Structure 1
Amino acid sequence: MPSATLTFAAETAPKAPQLASARPAELTMQSIAPAQWDGAVAAFDEVCQEQLSSFASSRWPGVVQEPVLFYRGEELVGGCLVMVQPLPLRLGAIAVTKWAPMLRDTEHPDAAAIYRGMIDALTAEYAERCGMMLSVLPRASLGADNSDYAHLLSRGFRKGARLLFPNRYLVNLQLTDAEHLQSFEQKWRYHLKRSERADLSFEVAGPEQFDAFNALYEQMVDRKRFPDHSAFDTVRELMMLENPLLRPELFFVRHSGEIVAGAIIFKAGDRAVYLYGATSAEALELRAGYFLHWKIIGWLRDNTAACWYDLGGTDGFQGLHQFKKGMVGARGLIRPVPPVANYAARLWPRLVGETAFAGRELLHRVNRWIDRLRPDRAKPDQHRRP
């Protein structure tokens, strides 16, 4: 566990005197209690579901949560929920940071230097002082190159596991309705127009209606006979969060008064994220998914601070790729999640850490292979997030 307050000098960004981000920054790392963490980072630009203590507690109950905040002077500039995973036989532990460290303000003039400073602080604490392997997974970059991942490699981190299908589909929320319609691919726009003639209605539902979504989701999984390895069992707890910024939003589409499609969206931060979707058997003919996402795009643009709508990945299914690619359109982005980056200051933590990750990756691939061999396996619904 990091001490209450540690101070680190952030590495200066590459020389570019005209850029404010090139200035060095000195950061203080301060640990806080997991119970305080979610509220402390609720307004961060880079906050995400996986960085919430409430999510991690139910998704990964065996890890030790060590949340830390980063300050530059009196200014809160970032944070990271470090999850310490003990290894079997007391061989050691791995410090995991997924989609982190997080910037409080991605438009901060010193954002690049702050990120470097946070990596320096985490490396010094977990890899050097505590003797663990530090594993960092940056989020997908909006730029053509992922500067966060490039920095990790330049600092001595080693390339780790990569998602089999790393692309993330990002819809631009900074457009008007007319600009969105122009951005959508022609086929996506065609299906949307058909859905608008199907007498569908859109509604924003409260958390008290989660049971209706849960029933629809279970019906869809049974109908599709699709193995669900997701974290869906954590959603109910997230829907009960008291903080309205962090509580996911629930949406429904109805036809003749009956729910035919629904979606749960994490709306905090600068990227809203599609968590789960569910549809009835009638939804495909009604094109309800097109109508649902069209309405969600407008709602997120008008009611949140998000600039992008992250649709997640495709799990390798061409139908999902075509649906999401058509919605991303000409004004959105398709960007890959980089591989995991691992760092260990000593040989033993590196050996046991990389061995543990390799074993887990092998298990995941075997399970995926078994799933694909199932004779009764059906294609996923186009609105389920892999």
Structure 2
Amino acid sequence: MSFLADRVVAGTTSAPTVRAAGAIGLRLETQLVSGAEWDQTIASFDEVCQEQMHAFASIRWPGVAQEPLVFLRDDEVVGGALVMVQSLPLRLGKIAVTKWAPMLKDAAHRDAAAIRAGMVEAMVAEYADRRRLMLSILPRASITEVNQEYGHLIARGFRRGSVLGFPNRYIVNLRLSDAEQRKSFSQTWRRQLNKAEKAGLSFEYAGAERVGDFETLYNAMTDRKQFSDHSAYETVPALMQIEVPALRPELFFVRHDGELVAGALIFKAGGRAVYLYGATNDKALPLRAGYFLHWHIIRWLRDHTQAQWYDLGGTDGFQGLHQFKKGMVGDAGVIRPVPPVANYASGRLAYAAGAGAFWARDSVHALQRKVDGWRNPLTRPTQQKDDAEPAP
């Protein structure tokens, strides 16, 4: 039996101490936990993110087996990874996939690199060596210029896999004073914010019970713009009802003359807040409501969370969105790419099956984007796109 099966019967297992890519992978105890326990556990992690939540993943990928793994050192939780085991077409086998993981509970721990290496080794031992699956890990964009997580995986023997079409992520520094933050914005962004502040707009923090107001804005926006929505918006109702307050997205609105003109849903747990979804009506753009909205979200996150950074997501190739987010990142933030997927398998057949499945998926997605462009020419990346569309 695998260690996951062993956990149900006996409780725990340990990975050996290893040396990998300059870091000694610590011996860690590995436990499989329930989805509910997993979400409770990771709420306090520095590196927690939406894609690693069971409440999100179980809806976003309903046909995939979710395996939430908690790693412990001396009986203390130090990290974790939600691994998704997916069957391949034609019964060719299975692959194990984890996105934005493994996650550290304490990213500033002096043994952080060794803990991360130990988590990777435990996953390799289980999924690649024991189960003979291809293991695919996608690290998130790093704040530093060099993505050390991805570098460790490649040094460990993982191979470069799929690459996002538009990998850059736009990340705002939250730990600045108002004066420092405004100075960091580009001159154009700051000028547009000044105009928005003279337009009679007001900012609102809203509770989860007002998600219906956001849905009204969002549905009206998608109908107006007629773009194909491939986001995970279907997960929003469940996320707004999650019993773990730290993991529940926050909802914000901008109002003009008593009318809601813009709104946003923000993931705020851990060290990196994330812009999930935005919505506007047709009055928002001339009012520059997006500038006003994000300015106040930045200030709210700084004052009410522990997050150091605010991840605005990508652009999906839209030049207008690039200019908007680049101006907001300014001098104090960073623009960094999501690295390629890193794939590892202990056997050639497992690797060939997994890599083939990724190639087929990427081909389908590329074709889908072309079809969307033909059907909806207004959503092609060559067109301007306003500042409040769903974060890719």
Give TM class, smaller chain: over 0.9
The residue number in structure 1 matching 2:189 is 188
Q: Secondary structure at the match of 1:338?
A: coil
Q: Which digits, 9 at most, give the CA deviation of each residue in 1:271-293, with x for residues without a partner?
A: 00000000110001100000000
Structure 1 residues 84-93 or 96-105, which shifts more? 84-93
5 Å-filtered alignment, 1:37-116, equals 37-116=38-117
Query: Alpha-carbon deviation of 1:25?
Result: 2.5
Query: Alpha-carbon deviation of 1:8?
Result: 1.6
Distance 1:172 1:70 in 2: 30
The residue number in structure 1 matching 2:296 is 295
Contact 1:262–1:292 at 8 Å: present in 2 too? yes
Query: Alpha-carbon deviation of 1:31?
Result: 1.1
Distance 2:295 2:161 in 1: 37
Distance 1:357 1:342 in 2: 10
Q: Which digits, 9 at most, give the CA deviation of each residue in 1:191-228, with x for residues without a partner?
A: 00000001111011111111110010011111111111
The residue number in structure 1 matching 2:15 is 8
Q: Secondary structure at the match of 2:247?
A: coil
Length, aligned pairs only:
380
Query: Alpha-carbon deviation of 1:381?
Result: 3.3
Q: Which amino acid aligns with 1:47?
A: V
Q: Which digits, 9 at most, give the CA deviation of each residue in 1:86-113, with x for residues without a partner?
A: 1123221110010001000100100001
Contact 1:23–1:110 at 8 Å: present in 2 too? no
Structure 1 residues 269-278 or 234-243, which shifts more? 234-243
Q: Secondary structure at the match of 1:377?
A: helix
Q: Secondary structure at the match of 1:140?
A: coil
Contact 1:371–1:377 at 8 Å: present in 2 too? no
Q: Secondary structure at the match of 1:276?
A: strand
Q: Where in structure 2 are there 5+ consecutive unaligned residues?
A: none
1:383 aligned to 2:388?
Answer: yes
The residue number in structure 2 matching 1:337 is 338
The residue number in structure 2 matching 1:311 is 312
The residue number in structure 2 matching 1:226 is 227
The residue number in structure 2 matching 1:374 is 375
The residue number in structure 1 matching 2:327 is 326
Distance 1:83 1:366 in 2: 25
Q: Which amino acid aligns with 2:284?
A: A
Q: Where in structure 1 are there 5+ consecutive unaligned residues?
A: 16-21
Distance 2:69 2:169 in 1: 27
The residue number in structure 2 matching 1:18 is none
Q: Which amino acid aligns with 1:41?
A: I
Q: Runs of 4+ in structure 1 displaced over 2 angstroms?
A: 9-15, 22-25, 373-381
Structure 1 residues 331-340 or 30-39, which shifts more? 30-39
Query: Alpha-carbon deviation of 1:266?
Result: 0.4
Q: Which digits, 9 at most, give the CA deviation of each residue in 1:266-318, with x for residues without a partner?
A: 00110000000001100011000000000000000000110000000000011
The residue number in structure 1 matching 2:124 is 123
Q: Indicate how the Cα distance of structure 1 residues 375 and 228 shifts in structure 2: closer, same or farther if over 3 A, else same.
A: closer
Q: Which amino acid aligns with 2:287?
A: L
Distance 1:199 1:72 in 2: 54
Contact 1:224–1:380 at 8 Å: present in 2 too? no
1:353 aligned to 2:358?
Answer: no
Q: Secondary structure at the match of 2:150?
A: helix
5 Å-filtered alignment, 1:135-284, equals 135-284=136-285
Structure 1 residues 366-375 or 201-210, which shifts more? 366-375
Query: Alpha-carbon deviation of 1:374?
Result: 2.7
Aligned CA-pair RMSD? 1.3
Distance 1:7 1:81 in 2: 18
Contact 2:320–2:386 at 8 Å: present in 1 too? no
The percentage of aligned residue pairs carrying the same residue is 59
Q: Which amino acid aligns with 2:245?
A: P
